[in-house]
Amino acid sequence: MLRRLLTPLSALSLLLCVGVCVLWVRSYGHWEWAAYQDRGGRTFTVTSRLGAAVFDVTDGWPPGIVAAPFRVHSGPLYASSLPPPNRWYWLGLGFDRATQSIGVSGTPLWTGTATSASLVVPHGFLCLLTAYAPASRAWGLYRRRVRPGLCSSCGYDLRASPDRCPECGTVR
C-alpha cells in the first residue's frame, strides 16, 4: 500500500522540482509573484527573484488591497523590485520581520501599520528538497533490479529458493 502511495507522490515531487528549476532560471531576468488575501486583510505572498523564493505574510493591509483574492503577476526585473536587506541571513536563507506605517494610494482615508514577516529560501535548496523523493525512489528501484539473487518484486533474498519467491510468490 505504501509503495502505491509513494509513486504518485514522487511524480508530484518531480513535477515540483522541474517547476522550481524553471523559476530558478527565470528569476535572474524576471520576477514572478503570487498573492492571496484573506477577508481579515492578511496577505500571503510568494515571490521569485534573483535565485531565491521569498515567502511573505503581512498583517494590517486593508481588505481588498490585492485586486482579487488570489493574484499572479510576472514582469522584468528592475532595481525597484530587488529584495530589501534581511536582518538575519545565513547560507542563502534569510528572515526579516518589519513594521511600517503606510498610506495606501487609491484609499486616501486609510493609513495604518502593517507588520510583515519574510522568509528567503534559495531556489537551489528548494530544488534539492523537491528532488529528494524521486531520487530516493529511483535509487530504490535501481538497487532492487540490479542486485542478482533478489526477487524483482519485493527484494527478498532468493539464494535458498531457486523457483519461487517465498515472500510474495513471484516466479523467478
Q: Nearest to residue 59, comparing CAs of 99, 96, 88, 86? A: 99
Q: Which residues pair with 164 in a beta bridge?
A: 171
Which is it for the CA torsion 29, 18, 54, 92, positive or negative?
negative
In the block, cell 519461487 appears at: 164
Q: Report the mean per-residue pLDDT for the chain.
A: 76
pLDDT digits (tens, 9 = 90+) for 17-60: 898 889 888 888 888 888 888 877 788 888 888 888 888 888 87
Instruction: Give me the mean pLDDT over the 155-163 stretch.
Output: 81
DSSP 111: E
- Is 80 exceeded by the pLDDT of residue 143? no
* Single pTM value for the model: 0.63
pLDDT of residue 75: 74
pLDDT of residue 147: 67
- Is 70 exceeded by the pLDDT of residue 102? no
pLDDT digits (tens, 9 = 90+) for 59-95: 876 666 655 666 677 777 665 555 555 566 677 788 8
Query: How far, in Å, CA of 146 to CA of 158, rounded?
Result: 14
- Is 70 exceeded by the pLDDT of residue 16? yes
Domain extent listing, the chain: 2-127
